[in-house]
Amino acid sequence: MKTSTYLEFQEKQLDEKELIAIAKNIWVESGNKASALTSLKLYIKPEENKVYYVFNDEVTGDFALD
């Protein structure tokens, strides 16, 4: 089964895959190996224009939904 998830708000449309790619890029740009990322949780808060992430149940942060 093929699935797609989109978040739509304020005339914007964000693809789940795009948000995951941004988070993974943050992980790698922070000096980590891509293979060291074993879990990723994303919490999307449109009212704050933010995506909060948790890498490997330990490392937290956020990025803007722009």
Question: Tell me: the pLDDT tens digits for 54-65?
Answer: 999 999 999 998
CB atoms within 10 A of CB 47: 6
Does 30 fall in a domain?
A: yes
* This model's pTM is above 0.75: yes
| Structural domains of the chain, count | 1
Does 29 fall in a domain?
A: yes
Does 60 fall in a domain?
A: yes
- Residue ranges making up the domain that contains 58: 6-64
Phi-psi region of 10 (alpha: psi -120 to 50; beta: other; left: phi over 0): left
- Please state the φ and ψ torsions of residue 21, each to the nearest 5 degrees: -65, -40
Does 44 fall in a domain?
A: yes
Does 1 fall in a domain?
A: no
Question: Tell me: the pLDDT tens digits for 18-30?
Answer: 999 999 999 999 9
Q: Is the dihedral of CA 55, 28, 5, 65 positive or negative?
A: positive
